[in-house]
A and B are shown apart, each in its own frame.
Chain A
Amino acid sequence: MIEIHKHQLANGLRVVVHPDLTTPLAAVNLLYDVGARDEDPSRTGFAHLFEHLMFGGSVNVPSYDDPLQRVGGDNNAWTSNDFTNYYVTLPAGNLETAFWLESDRMLELNFTPNALEVQRKVVIEEFKQRYLNQPYGDMPLLSRPLAYKVHPYRWPTIGQDLSHIKEATLEEVKRFFFTHYAPNNAVLAVAGNVVPDEVFRLAEKWFGDLPRREVPKRSLPQEVAQTEARELTVRRKVPADLIHIDFHIGRRTDPDFYVNDLLSDVLSNGPSSRLFQSLVKDENLFSDINAFISGDMDPGLFTVTGRLMPGVPMDKAETAIWEQLQRIGNEGLAERELQKVKNKIESNLVFSEISFLNKAMNMAQYELMGDANEINKEIDYYRAVSTGELQEAARQIFSRTNSCTLHYLSGGEQ
């Protein structure tokens, strides 16, 4: 159970606080409601490039990192298809420094051509390091456009193509900032050795004067229901064949999220899970196999992906996956098996509450989805799921017409 205190500023900024007096530190997490899905299709990778530029100094503070490190702080950020998240941990006594720095970069960035040039290069190296110079690194660049035809989830957060990053202009960068970075488009979450009223006072002091901005209402093209199986086969210079199957599912905020999450756990959470026991241990078809759901704000994906053992024919491996997926729909599952994955969810929840930074990140995300207090109800939502619901979900999700299959074969030149 996480104790949560909330307050909203007149400019729309939502502030959530969780006091945790077991640590001498505090975490300040600022979550912006902008991600790769808000990008122009000809400027993909922009939200992430922008995350890098947020460390190039703001209108009144030439360096973001230097003053933070000077008070013992550390920080980082991430971008997803839905969100951009910035976080700081620092000694709780120096909390106000984080408010100063975060409020100034929400006010206005120091846009310089040089900062853009350098971060453009850094992001291109990140693109190469993560997506091009790694075995299987380009998978998201292949699987996303297979699963999404119109929705912006069809490109990964790093972007669809390096040229989009190469061609970004300073004007576009500024426009992106003033369109999406605003107090009324963000949640500020603070967890750690703090007093809620003091946090609210600091929030008023540093963020209270920032102008509310006109944030356009999101209106994204939604996918039309898929009616036939999709397939793509590529050949690359990798050590083993791989299969990656995406199935369309609903949103993070849909009630069946919990059913789908437990279904993916039955298939692949932990060494006793079905796919691992049957396909890795018993049949030796795969060296590694996973199932997971994306948990996106718009309709997302249920993914099953595995690397084949040498000499195993692709069609045999694929058939074996389908048998496992359809078995749940056909035969259902025992109460104990569901109880097992619920127990794991419950213990993971307790483990995650050890970290004050985790708690700050989670609170911010729940508040942006509607209400931070929902964190404390999650476990009940999981507990309420029945074996019948899992069986029904498996029947609905795991159909050929709902599948997008990528065969990623070894033996290629590049």
Chain B
Amino acid sequence: MSRTIDRKKGPAFQALEGINFIPVREVALPNGIEVSLLEAGSQDVSKIDWVFPAGAVQAGKPLLASTVGNLLLEGTATRSSAEISDTIDFYGAYLNAQTFHHNTVVTLVCLTRELPHLLPLVEDVVRNAAFDAREVDIYLNKRRQEFLLESEKVRTLAARYFGSVIFGADHPYGKQLDLSHFDTLGREELIAFHRAAYTPLGCRIVVAGQPGKDIVALLTRHFGGSDWQAGNINLNGVEEGLPSPEKFHLLEKDGALQSAIRIGRPMFNNTHPDFIPLQVLNTILGGYFGSRLMTTVREEKGLTYGIGSSIVSYPKGGMWVIASEVMGEMREDATAAIFEEMQRLIDEPVSEDELEVVRNYMLGELLRQFDGPFSSSDIYRTLWEYGLDYRFYDRMVEVVKTIGPPDLQALAARYLQPGDFYTVVAGK
């Protein structure tokens, strides 16, 4: 090969037009449970999420909601914990429960051909979990060990405390788990919460993959019956957060070689009109490898292995948070550098060149996020929680393509004032 090519100049490239969303089919089961189906993909696999209004908010105290979620798999009236795990493993499946602030999501991932073997089991664990006293003990003792282990990590200490600084220590988004919660959680509470929250009231099912033509009939058989009574869970009820009066918080940890930093502020959630434009500003600040924070704090100063920022959305609020673990003795330099980067976005317009990189990176990232039915269904499920749909991302594509440097500078002046930010440090 002796053809000469110009290695200094890259090949031509195309800007992205938009995203081809996987279409969503909506059906309702006879008892009213809404089902969304995203039928796509090259493999005969299925992912099914059952969303229950069984989050930490409804539980009203830490530990209760997640314990109920995890104990679903540890035995029912007719199946032992060992039988349940043996069945799941034998059919090569994964079944787990994840608890969030406002819900618990039970997720089954399996080969589609095994659905008829697995759905009866999911029905049983969701409806008839037994909360056997011995299983409760085993679970809580294990969980306590995990809690103690996590408590040794500066990153965890900073993240936990940051929530209470932003929302207040008594707010559902800010309340922290501590050891006393393990001692006071009783089996009766678990049973009562399960009875109230794991019912067709507020339940929703999201199916993704190639679940086969019988899927609605199967779901109807196991989850659509009128014999399954609605519970009495409160679906709302979160007050405004009350941030800490202090802007700086230091949690000292002996012998820490690095300090974990969280810098952020209370925000609104993704239903606010500024939320999408702020995603662009956040990406510039700390949302990708080439971001200002990565460039300054990691690539120029070498103070950290990684730093990032994101705007977190909850159904009743949100926060902007910058997170990093930095060289312990240089923590003040790192913090100062972070605030300087925020100020720079207020003082100077972003260049068109940098903005072009961010635009294309964000559009590519959207393509990656929506690649395949599984990840699309996670996004769709979350949108639904906020009363949103795919139009949210159509609008994001539009904003990413058209937002200009003056818009971004105005957003920075409004939302990135250093005086509005709180700092939590764990370490030294």
Contacts and interface: CB of A to CB of B under 8 A. Distances in A.
Interface string B1-43: 1110101101101101000100000000000000000001111
A273 interface: yes
Nearest to A414: B255
A128 B427 CA distance: 13
Nearest to B152: A135
Interface string B347-377: 0000000001110110111011001101000
A65 B289 contact: yes
Nearest to B137: A284
Contact of B41 (A22, A134, A209, A343): A22
B138 A128 contact: no
Interface of B: 1-3, 5, 7-8, 10-11, 13-14, 16, 20, 40-45, 73, 81-82, 85-86, 88-93, 109-111, 138, 141-142, 145-146, 148-149, 151-154, 255-258, 288-290, 298-305, 325-327, 356-358, 360-361, 363-365, 367-368, 371-372, 374
Given A74-B361, A121-B303, A238-B152, A133 B290 contact: no
A71 B360 contact: yes
A94 B88 contact: no
A288 interface: yes
**Of A121, A205, A355, which is in contact with the most chain B CB atoms at under 10 Å from its CB?**
A121
Interface string A89-133: 111011011011101100100000000011111110110111011
Contacts of B148: 239-240
A353 interface: yes
Given A73-B364, A205-B3, A125 B372 contact: no
Given A70-B13, A340-B86, A354 B41 contact: yes
14 contacts: A23-B372, A25-B371, A65-B289, A72-B361, A74-B288, A74-B364, A93-B13, A107-B7, A118-B302, A125-B325, A239-B145, A340-B90, A343-B89, A344-B92
Interface in A334-380: 336, 339-341, 343-348, 350-351, 353-355
Nearest to B258: A133
A336 B304 CA distance: 50
Given A272-B85, A343-B91, 11 more contacts: A22-B40, A65-B289, A69-B361, A71-B13, A91-B14, A94-B14, A128-B257, A135-B152, A272-B82, A287-B142, A354-B372
Contact of A69 (B82, B111, B357): B357
Given A96-B11, A272-B89, A347-B111, A204 B257 contact: no
B85 A270 contact: yes
A118 B294 CA distance: 12
Contact of A121 (B14, B142, B302): B302
Given A287-B145, A307-B145, A70 B356 contact: yes
A244 to B, nearest CB: 15
A405 B230 CA distance: 54
B360 A271 contact: no
A60 B8 contact: yes
A281 interface: yes
A261 interface: no
A280 interface: yes
Contacts of B368: 25, 74, 89
Interface residues of A, number: 87
A284 B89 contact: no
Nearest to A348: B92
A10 interface: yes
Nearest to A356: B371
A4 interface: no
Nearest to A345: B92
A277 interface: yes
Contacts of A72: 16, 360-361, 363-365, 367
A291 to B, nearest CB: 15
Interface in A115-171: 117-123, 125-126, 128-130, 132-135
A297 interface: no
A74 B152 CA distance: 33
A97 B7 CA distance: 11
Contact of A122 (B145, B153, B290, B304): B304
Nearest to A192: B371
A190 to B, nearest CB: 15
Contact of A281 (B16, B40, B82): B82
A343 B145 contact: no
B333 to A, nearest CB: 12
B364 A354 contact: no
A310 B85 CA distance: 26
B158 to A, nearest CB: 13
Nearest to B372: A354
B325 A240 contact: no
Nearest to B143: A287
B290 to A, nearest CB: 5
A201 to B, nearest CB: 11
Contact of A118 (B92, B154, B299): B299
A208 B4 CA distance: 11
B14 A135 contact: no
Nearest first, the 4 closest Cβ-Cβ pairs linking A and B are A72-B364, A121-B302, A347-B92, A208-B1
Contacts of B371: 23-25
A74 B365 contact: yes
B149 A135 contact: yes
A402 to B, nearest CB: 28
A129 B111 CA distance: 38
Given A128-B257, A129-B258, A66 B357 contact: yes
A86 interface: no
A61 interface: yes
Contact of B92 (A94, A281, A346): A346
Contact of A354 (B45, B73, B300): B45
A57 to B, nearest CB: 11
A340 B145 CA distance: 30
Contacts of A91: 14, 16, 364, 367
Given A121-B302, A125-B303, A343-B90, A69 B367 contact: no
Contacts of A353: 42-43
Interface string A30-47: 000000000000000000
Contacts of A277: 82, 85
Given A61-B8, A240-B149, A90 B364 contact: yes
Contacts of A101: 10
